Structure 1
């Protein structure tokens, strides 16, 4: 990997968590005027988040990132058993885990097969499971499989299906993961880059959904608790804040928040994608210093997890070289 690719990979989880935490204070509050100033104010949705605290979306990504830092294969049920055990333990004291996630994790044993079975039962009972609860946890999956897009798509879908059985959820995770990979490796935002990884009969529908996102604004997708509209809202925010500078991270994340609805999910997806495009230093400094959450981590910890996940546990894959020294300086700056 080049120095720029290292930098972009280092910012992915931090960008996601910052978007998540920024959106947490505005969840379900409705669209806001474009002139409205938004901040990491906490609260939101009646869940009493602390200022800068990330929500369930980032919390569920952390155990996957930790497994990736050890070079574990996220397609392996033995690895996922450990991840799920963390999720089940977390859900016992979590302020909120989403309707689908809460139902699945509260009634399951702490292993992959048990939650997968509980997810299927919940899906069959309600006839749907296409919420966005599995989307953001694809970010560490993307980092773990930067070198293998086929394995990335497999892992993204497998991890999603632990809690969300519906095809839309799996498709969205594949598309999001491959877009993150492309942004890190190529320095380009392209939500359509993963369309070829979907079954051919579903590609046209997803392409049309992204066409719609480019025509409309984030507020035009009020059902963005549905994973399809989450991704549409996120892509709309990115599309309408495009530019040639790293300020897009702030602009796009704030646009996502002003769009209303499930703001933590949409802004988290935007934060991950734009940080994957523009790199660690593009994440606004005040956000970096304030962001924090389960299990007692801060922004600097997410940067380390990103670096190590992208290199299978090797300390960012850049120890003892110039890139490694540059990353160390940036990590100190985050303290």
Structure 2
């Protein structure tokens, strides 16, 4: 169980850094089956992206863009949506290596003249989940505002109601963590109330029963139908992220280790689980070697910590908000080309033994 006396600033820093490290630690395993991951890397989870260091992908970038939009909008959800849309539009031109098909199509529509909020495509991918935990974390006492923000964020890329349900589940979970001392049963009821879709309610019921029986994350994934890998379908990725966080609550490293071992969309699922686990334990509950292994730029760890400080001071009713200096996004293209080269090297490495 995570302590509830952690300062807010440490919690928000834990969320931002926790999500980014989940992204970085899960990235080398993305798309692999759990069996292949076990053969390639039988030891403890560590940074394996480049020379024992880790870099973030689209999961980290979407979270940063969402945080910056929250800070700028000062409670105006329309401004939030247009600001986030602007960040994502320019981001697409910088050749991000991990952009999903649905997200790419939605952002192309923005460039072709569609209005933000009308450009989304019908998809139940997990893109909106990358952006939602931070919303719940900064608006813990405003459930109606959480719904407005998450809906605005989700519909920028995905219009399938399932995408909104999954994103809201993560946001409300983050708000529940911030509330502290609220019974777990209330969180289960909140999840169940998000949709009348029987598939979603079955997922919530399975989380409850497996949590009560203390079933492992791998066994939960198997019972959930993800025996080889976790897909990018939001009704798969979000329940497994939620269960991993809940099952290993208070232990960030175990949460991420078990998520990555499940295979599949490991970077996104680990980023979603890492956001909740990091918010729960705070920045000092995240293993120092993993934090020191972050080597990305311009989204350095110092920048992520500063972003967490600004989020902790956010007040939606304030007429002004403190916004951190923007990273030098114009210089991201060389970084993305290096990132793409490393990703291709990983692809070739996967063709080699052990099988």
Please indicate the TM-score interval, normalised by the length of the shorter structure: 0.7 to 0.9
Q: Which of residues 221, 231, 242 is equivalent to 1:224? A: 231
| Alignment match, 1:101 | 103
| Alignment match, 1:60 | 62
Structure 2 residue 197 is the aligned partner of structure 1 residue 194: no
| Alignment match, 2:260 | 257
CA RMSD of aligned residues (A): 3.0
Q: Which of residues 301, 304, 308 is equivalent to 1:302? A: 304
| Alignment match, 1:80 | 81
Give the length in aligned residue pairs: 295
SS at match of 1:217: helix
Q: Structure 2 unaligned segments of length 5 or more: list them.
A: 315-320, 325-355
Asked if structure 1 preserves the Cα contact closer than 8 Å seen for 2:68 and 2:323, the reply is: no
Deviation of 1:266 (Å)? 0.8
How far apart, in 2, do the equivalents of 1:159 and 1:15 lie?
21
Structure 2 residue 158 is the aligned partner of structure 1 residue 164: yes
How far apart, in 1, do the equivalents of 2:104 and 2:242 lie?
27
| 1:135-177 Cα shifts (integer Å, max 9, x gaps) | 0211221233123122112211221111100111101111110
Asked if structure 2 preserves the Cα contact closer than 8 Å seen for 1:160 and 1:173, the reply is: yes
Q: Structure 1 unaligned segments of length 5 or more: list them.
A: 44-48, 124-128, 317-335
Deviation of 1:223 (Å)? 4.6
Deviation of 1:237 (Å)? 2.4
State the TM-score, normalized to the length of structure 2.
0.74
Q: How is 1:122-133 mapped onto 2 (pairs within 5 angstroms)?
A: 123=122, 129-133=123-127
How far apart, in 1, do the equivalents of 2:284 and 2:189 lie?
25
| Alignment match, 1:185 | 179
How far apart, in 1, do the equivalents of 2:70 and 2:300 lie?
18
Q: How is 1:1-335 mapped onto 2 (pairs within 5 angstroms)?
A: 4-31=7-34, 32-33=37-38, 36-42=43-49, 51-70=53-72, 72-73=74-75, 75-76=77-78, 78-92=79-93, 93-109=95-111, 114-120=115-121, 123=122, 129-186=123-180, 190=184, 192=188, 194-195=190-191, 198-199=194-195, 201-202=196-197, 205-213=199-207, 214=210, 216-218=219-221, 220-221=225-226, 222-242=229-249, 246=250, 248-293=251-296, 296-312=298-314, 313=321
How far apart, in 1, do the equivalents of 2:191 and 2:284 lie?
30
Instruction: Indicate how the Cα distance of structure 1 residues 267 and 228 shifts in structure 2: closer, same or farther if over 3 A, else same.
Output: same
Deviation of 1:58 (Å)? 1.5
Asked if structure 1 preserves the Cα contact closer than 8 Å seen for 2:81 and 2:117, the reply is: no
State the TM-score, normalized to the length of structure 1.
0.78
Asked if structure 1 preserves the Cα contact closer than 8 Å seen for 2:81 and 2:116, the reply is: no
Deviation of 1:4 (Å)? 3.4
Structure 1 consecutive aligned stretches of length 4 or more whose deviation exceeds 4 Å? 187-191
How far apart, in 2, do the equivalents of 1:40 and 1:94 lie?
20
